[in-house]
């Protein structure tokens, strides 16, 4: 009969403790690998995510979400006094001339308001004078001496726009001009042409001849006062302002 070995109580206790330790280590390893997805607003407080990489990713996402909730809405609109994106001198001259022909004061003022300074005015005025049906009139001449010549309120409103733009008014002649430019309304031929004097005589003139001061335009002819004081006419299409 085989003899029974006596089991030492100390050994039993050590084996039990070893099994318990292995179980505890396994539990911690599983918990560490699994982690938790519970994250507070700041991504840290109350979080039981043990993996440092996952914790950093969750914190970054939480920070972005919190920022989106609290960041104020910023308007990208601007009210700065900048040049209109659609500022095209030729187009603005056409718009202004149509409003002038129609006697549309609000339209005229709206067009003038698009000119910020004398440089803008000069660019538009050059295009304006090319419009044949205006007889090479400047903006100021056309608005004040033709389209709105009898409307004092309209003229006052136009004067105010001219002042804002930076035009200067001669205190004697009352004519408006760009600062540093002549206030005269003299015309010059753009091509070889002819002049009709008061008796109907035809006088041939060469290109670039300064004829005198414009007085009026009608039926395709421009009346002007020559340097000797006589009143003559010339085809409007052949002249421009000096």
Residue with tokens 């035809």: 202
Indicate whether 45 pLDDT > 50: no
In whole angstroms, give the CA distance from residue 166 to residue 169: 10
State in Å, rounded, how far the first CA of the chain is from the last one. 142
Q: Which residue has the higher pLDDT, 208 or 204?
A: 204
At residue 133 the predicted structure's pLDDT band, cuts being 50, 70 and 90, is low
What pLDDT score does 64 carry? 60
What pLDDT score does 41 carry? 45
What pLDDT score does 21 carry? 53
Residues in the chain: 242
In whole angstroms, give the CA distance from residue 134 to residue 126: 12
Q: Which residue has the higher pLDDT, 236 or 15?
A: 236
Q: What is the mean pLDDT of the chain?
A: 73
State the maximum Cα–Cα separation within the chain, in Å, rounded to a whole number: 164
Q: Which residues contact 114 (CB under 8 A, 6 or more apart)?
A: 84, 87, 92, 120
Q: Residues 155-192: pLDDT tens digits?
A: 999 999 999 998 888 777 777 876 544 445 778 888 89
Q: Residues 49-108: pLDDT tens digits?
A: 556 666 666 666 666 655 555 444 333 333 334 445 578 999 999 999 999 999 999 999
Q: Kindly calculate the radius of gyration of the chain based on its CA atoms and give it in whole angstroms.
A: 44
Angle, CA of 220, 206 and 227, to the nearest 5°: 75
At residue 117 the predicted structure's pLDDT band, cuts being 50, 70 and 90, is confident
In whole angstroms, give the CA distance from residue 135 to residue 218: 9
Mean pLDDT value across residues 126-143: 79
What pLDDT score does 84 carry? 52
Q: Which residues contact 165 (CB under 8 A, 6 or more apart)?
A: 112, 115, 116, 117, 118, 120, 121
Residue 52 tokens read as 């440092």
What pLDDT score does 83 carry? 46
Label residue 101 exposed, middle or buried (CB < 10 Å: 0-12, 13-18, 19+). middle
Comparing C-alpha atoms, which of 206, 168, 214, 212 is closest to residue 189? 206
Work out the number of other CB atoms within 10 angstroms of the CB of residue 105: 19
Indicate whether 202 pLDDT > 80: yes
Report DSSP state, residue 117. Answer: S
Taking a C-beta distance cutoff of 8 angstroms, is the pair 97, 107 a contact?
A: no
Query: Is the whole model's pTM more than 0.75, yes or no?
Result: no
Q: Is the dihedral angle over the CA atoms 71, 77, 82, 84 positive or is it negative? A: positive
Mean pLDDT value across residues 190-208: 91
Q: Which residue has the higher pLDDT, 40 or 166?
A: 166
What pLDDT score does 141 carry? 87
């Amino acid at each position: 009969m085989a003899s029974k070995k006596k089991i030492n109580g100390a050994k039993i206790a050590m084996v039990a403790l070893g099994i318990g330790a292995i179980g505890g280590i396994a539990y911690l390893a599983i918990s560490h690998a699994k982690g938790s997805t519970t994250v507070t607003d700041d991504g840290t407080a109350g979080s039981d995510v043990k993996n440092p990489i996952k914790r950093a990713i969750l914190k970054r996402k939480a920070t972005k979400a919190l920022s989106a909730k609290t960041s104020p809405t910023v308007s990208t609109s601007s009210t700065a006094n900048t040049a209109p994106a659609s500022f095209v001198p030729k187009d603005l001259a056409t718009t202004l001339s149509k409003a002038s022909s129609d006697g549309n004061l609000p339209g005229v003022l709206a067009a003038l308001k698009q000119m910020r300074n004398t440089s803008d005015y000069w660019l538009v005025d050059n295009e304006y004078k090319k419009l044949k049906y205006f007889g090479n009139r400047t903006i100021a001449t056309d608005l004040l001496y033709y389209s709105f010549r009898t409307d004092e309120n309209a003229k006052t409103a136009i004067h105010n726009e001219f002042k804002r733009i930076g035009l200067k008014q001669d205190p004697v002649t009352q004519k408006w001009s760009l600062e540093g430019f002549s206030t005269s309304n003299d015309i010059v031929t753009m091509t070889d042409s002819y002049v009709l004097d008061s008796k109907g005589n035809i006088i041939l003139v060469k290109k670039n001849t300064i004829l005198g001061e414009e007085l009026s335009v009608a039926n395709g002819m421009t009346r002007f006062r020559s340097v000797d004081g006589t009143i003559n006419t010339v085809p409007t299409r052949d002249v421009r302002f000096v």
